[in-house]
A and B are shown apart, each in its own frame.
Chain A
Amino acid sequence: MEEIISPIVLYTVCALGAAGMALALPRRGSKLVPLGITLLSAALAMALVSLGLRVDRGHGPGVFFYIFALIALGASVRVITHPRPVYSALYFILTIIASCGMYVLLGAEFMAFALVIIYAGAILITYLFVIMLATQAPTGQDAGMLDETDAVAREPVVGAVVGFVLMAIISAMLFGGIRDARQPDPAFTPDEVLAHLPGKVDRILRERDLISADERVARTGDGGGLIDAAAGTITIENTDLGTTRVIDEWPEYLSATNLDRLGWNLLHDHPMTIEIAGVILLMAMLGATVLARKHVELEESLKAEQARKLGETTLRPQHAGGAS
């Protein structure tokens, strides 16, 4: 752990973070929220700087990582400290988009775009709809006030301490164990997956006029192509004449994309994942439908209260319009 970050810095960061978080959580009449957020950001900046100091020159994560990390964490802090739920949801979208930036930096383009579409586009919009559906309009004299539920946090000090103690433990274990993590095979080339995609290689080579119309990549018995990415050779067969030749100069533009590799991994190495995911989503859809259709029997007094509130909120704008 010593070579990644000094333990004293890590524990200081956690203590500072807990103090900042406890101050930043919303409560009635608190003027300390900006101070708490400043403390939290100082703690985070300290952690990132002390990590960055131990990095060999030229092998750091790059300036984009720091930008995305600060946006993501700053927006996360606002998600849990903002007293208005709609703003929380919007800040969460910002968190997602910043983490998508980090995904791109890690070479996971497909997941980054899928995340923007599914999370920011679908899930969060559903959240926004429910927030708008399930929030009462403020009535009467408390029109400018926030709902008690959102304006006051429950046990902010205990929550912050518990959270950051857990973070200290998790990160100490992670950084302590990094050295024991399995190092990847140094002979790895990402293009190995192309041997399983002879059709794609055919298409690319034909577009570049490297093979003629009656030639194709020689197939092996299991449907793969006779392609050796490590040695850089592709065996081409002529389907009419039955002859073969070898391209031993690997074309530079021929490489497996992130999507090729991800698709191969998903369908070849984890074929059950998609089935299980489909079942989970189906059950969730059924469950959500059953729950939402359930008719709620309200007591008479609650019904009257609802009707009164509805009347107030729908009538008020008309009064305002009539006066002007």
Chain B
Amino acid sequence: MIDALSLAASPFALPDSVLAHYLLVSAVMFTLGLVGFLTRKNLIIMFLCTEMMFQAAGLALIAFGRYHLGEDGQTFVIFVLCVAAAEAAMALALVVLLFRRRETLSAEAWKELNG
């Protein structure tokens, strides 16, 4: 355990192969979010899946930031977090509005919106 945590604090760059591990996790998480967004019908789950994609992007940013030994990655995660919070507020207000109109959370209830 001490070893694992001291790796985090040490100023040595990540090896390429370790960066690849984090990027793989990030890519899989992004893919799961995308598949969920495409396939689920519940509006709230769809927005939850966009949050998952934000999360995957954040993980990749932090991993790259550690790889380059800078703080830019973490700073951008703060920005991603703000966008996610703003998106959640807007999305949830929209969902409540849509629910009041159609009494369902299904995205299929709004089919007429496709062009």
Interface residues in chain A, defined as those with a beta carbon under 8 Å from any beta carbon in chain B: 3-5, 17, 21, 25, 44, 47-48, 51-52, 54-56, 59-65, 69, 72-73, 76-77, 79-80, 85, 88-89, 92, 95-96, 99, 102-108, 110-111, 114-115, 118-119, 122-123, 126-127, 130-131, 133-136, 147-150, 152-156, 158-160, 162-164, 166-167, 170-171, 174-175, 178-179, 181-185, 188-190, 258, 261-262, 264-266, 269-270, 273, 276-277, 280-281, 283-285, 287-289, 291-292, 294, 296, 298, 302, 305-306
Contacts and interface: CB of A to CB of B under 8 A. Distances in A.
B16 A277 contact: no
Interface residues of B, number: 87
14 contacts: A51-B17, A76-B32, A80-B52, A111-B78, A123-B84, A150-B45, A163-B35, A175-B23, A273-B78, A276-B79, A284-B87, A284-B90, A296-B97, A296-B100
Contacts of A17: 28, 31
Contact of A99 (B38, B55, B93): B55
B102 to A, nearest CB: 9
Contacts of B21: 48, 51-52, 61, 65, 69
Given A102-B22, A265-B72, A167 B27 contact: yes
Main secondary structure of the interface of B (DSSP, over half): helix
A102 B59 contact: yes
A76 B15 contact: no
